[in-house]
Structure 1
Amino acid sequence: MNLLIQQTVNGLTLGSIYCLVALGLTLIYGIMEVPNFAHGHLYMVGGYVTFFMMTLYGLNYWVSAIISGIVLAVLGILLERLVFNPMRNSPSSNKFIAAVGAMLFLEASARVLWGSDFRSIPAIYDNVVVMGGVRLTEQRLIIIAGAVILMVALYVFIKHTMIGSTIEAMAQNRDGASLVGIDVNRVAMLTFAVASILASAAASLAGPIFLVYPGMGSLIIMKAFVIIVIGGMGSIPGAVLGSFILGLTESLGATYLSSNYKDVVAFAILVLILSIKPSGLFAKGAR
């Protein structure tokens, strides 16, 4: 029983990380209607910024994470302005190619600037907490709590602020939003900034227990893409549910089956759910 609880917590930890990345990808999909495959590499850059803030400048973990969020917000805005905004009236295939190009550019730049070595954000909260006979590290609990706080904050922002309402309106109908006076350029920049902050937060939370390296964005974006397809393209509740389904299944599957098949599980779940509900668990309009 203790093993089951332990792996469930590990699954919730994975699901929390996936959730923050998938939520950002979902927000961007809402205004682009094309998955931003460069989003996983924003997650990668966020991990590096937090790492260097702590190791080169000796800053506090939380201060480093905040700086990383600011840097990533600026980078997200630049990505929107320089890559996606000029292509807003282009076919979806062109946007898709642009997203892949931005992904490759970010990964290649990381390898040139920082090399291909694996690094780890210094662990600050590495004490072990015993709860009901189950041993948990503080960092894993912080990841879960941090993800929940950010999810609640995002919900409040989207549902209970004027700016959040404009993002939701633009996601539903960009042309209609423009006709009623919404500044679509400003909303697009803000959406990329918020999504990039979520990716940065995921990397900062995960960095002390997972490694930071240039290719880390490729795996996380594949998982995030699977999640938003499982949940329903553009659905925020679907992204949350899909993230925790994937995280728990991976953790429990690695324990009771084999860790060799951990990454295969994501695509097995994708096939299973889409065979039952081809449009995903939630329709796009279900927010």
Structure 2
Amino acid sequence: MDMFLQQILNGLTLGSVYCLVALGLTLVYGILQVPNFAHGAFYMAGAFVAFQLMSALGWNYWLAMTAAAASVAALAALAGRWVFHPLRKSSGLHPMIAAIGLLLFLEASAQAIWGADFRRMPTPYTGMVEVAGIGIGQQRVLLVAGAFVLMAALQLFLKRTVVGATIVALAQDREGAALMGIDTHRVAMLTFAISGALAAAAAVLYAPINLVYPAMGSLVITKAFAIIVIGGMGSVPGAIAGGLIIGFAESFGAFYVSSDAKDLIAFVLLVVILSVRPQGLFTRGVL
């Protein structure tokens, strides 16, 4: 029973990371209708910015996380303006190629600055707490709690604020939103900024448990694409549900089946779920 509860806690940890990354990805897809392959590079950039601020400048963990989220939000907004905006009238293939190019550029830049070595991000939360009789690291508890706070805040922002309503309106009908006087370019840049901040927050929360290295975003973003397809492209509830499903599936699969097959589980689930429900678990395109 203890091992079962341990896998639940592990699944929550993985699922929380996947949810935050997938949320940013699905927000951008809702606006552009184009998969942003560079989103994994934003995740990586957030980890490296926080790592640099903490290790080189001695910033505390929370201040470094805030600065990393703000920096990556600005980077993502600039990418939206300079990379994706000029391609808004092009076919879907052109923005995808541009996103892959941006991903490779940012990964190469990180490797040139910090090298290819694996690094450990420091954290003040190194102790253990007891949850249902199971010992769990404080950083894992912080990760799960922080992720759910951010997910709740995003939902409130989209549902209860005027700016959030403009993002939803733009995702539902871009031309109609423009005719109603909404500045679609500004809203698109804001959406990119939010997605970048979420990716950076996820990276800083997870990096002390994992490692920091230039290619750290590649596998995460691949799974995030599987998650948003499973949940329904452009659906915020679908991204949350899909992230938790993949997180629990990987945790239990690695323990009860094989740890070597852990990274394949997301794609096996993708095939199984889409064979039963091709549109995903939730309605596509509804934030």
| Coarse TM-score class (shorter-chain normalised) | over 0.9
Q: Which residue of 1 aligns with 2:100?
A: 100
Query: In the alignment, is the contact (CA less than 8 A) between 2:238 and 2:282 conserved in 1?
Result: yes
Give, as a single letter, the amino acid of the residue that structure 2 aligns with 1:57.
L
Which aligned pairs between 1:266-277 and structure 2 lie closer than 5 A?
266-277=266-277
Percent sequence identity over aligned pairs = 55
Q: Which residue of 1 aligns with 2:205?
A: 205
- 5+ residue gaps, structure 2, are none
Indicate yes or no: 2:256 matched with 1:256.
yes
Q: Which residue of 2 aligns with 1:67?
A: 67
Change (3 A) 1:244 1:97: same
Q: Which residue of 1 aligns with 2:38?
A: 38
Deviation for aligned residue 1:199: 0.3
Deviation for aligned residue 1:131: 2.7
Q: Which residue of 1 aligns with 2:17?
A: 17
Q: Which residue of 2 aligns with 1:156?
A: 156
How far apart are the structure 2 equivalents of 1:270 and 1:53? 38
Superimposed CA distance per residue, residues 96-116 of structure 1 (whole angstroms, 9 cap, x where no aligned partner): 111111111111111111110
Deviation >3 Å, runs of 4+: none
How far apart are the structure 1 equivalents of 2:168 and 2:263? 33
Q: Which residue of 2 aligns with 1:135?
A: 135
Which aligned pairs between 1:164-243 and structure 2 lie closer than 5 A?
164-243=164-243
How far apart are the structure 2 equivalents of 1:160 and 1:132? 35
Deviation for aligned residue 1:285: 4.1
How far apart are the structure 1 equivalents of 2:145 and 2:132? 19
Secondary structure of the residue aligned to 1:182 is coil
How far apart are the structure 2 equivalents of 1:66 and 1:286? 29
How far apart are the structure 2 equivalents of 1:284 and 1:181? 25
How far apart are the structure 2 equivalents of 1:93 and 1:173? 21
Query: In the alignment, is the contact (CA less than 8 A) between 1:77 and 1:192 conserved in 2?
Result: yes
Query: In the alignment, is the contact (CA less than 8 A) between 1:237 and 1:286 conserved in 2?
Result: no
Superimposed CA distance per residue, residues 148-207 of structure 1 (whole angstroms, 9 cap, x where no aligned partner): 100010011000000000000001111111011000011011000000000010001001
Superimposed CA distance per residue, residues 98-141 of structure 1 (whole angstroms, 9 cap, x where no aligned partner): 11111111111111111101011113111111233211111101
How far apart are the structure 2 equivalents of 1:278 and 1:155? 25
How far apart are the structure 2 equivalents of 1:152 and 1:124? 25
Query: In the alignment, is the contact (CA less than 8 A) between 1:234 and 1:284 conserved in 2?
Result: yes
Superimposed CA distance per residue, residues 12-54 of structure 1 (whole angstroms, 9 cap, x where no aligned partner): 0000000000000000001110110000110000000111110
Secondary structure of the residue aligned to 2:136 is strand
Secondary structure of the residue aligned to 1:36 is coil
Count of aligned positions: 287
TM-score, normalised with respect to structure 2: 0.99
Give, as a single letter, the amino acid of the residue that structure 2 aligns with 1:79.
A
Query: In the alignment, is the contact (CA less than 8 A) between 1:123 and 1:209 conserved in 2?
Result: no
Give, as a single letter, the amino acid of the residue that structure 2 aligns with 1:190.
L
Query: In the alignment, is the contact (CA less than 8 A) between 1:46 and 1:68 conserved in 2?
Result: yes
How far apart are the structure 1 equivalents of 2:285 and 2:105? 33
Q: Which residue of 1 aligns with 2:50?
A: 50
Secondary structure of the residue aligned to 2:129 is strand
Q: What's the Cα RMSD here? A: 0.8
Query: In the alignment, is the contact (CA less than 8 A) between 2:171 and 2:285 conserved in 1?
Result: no
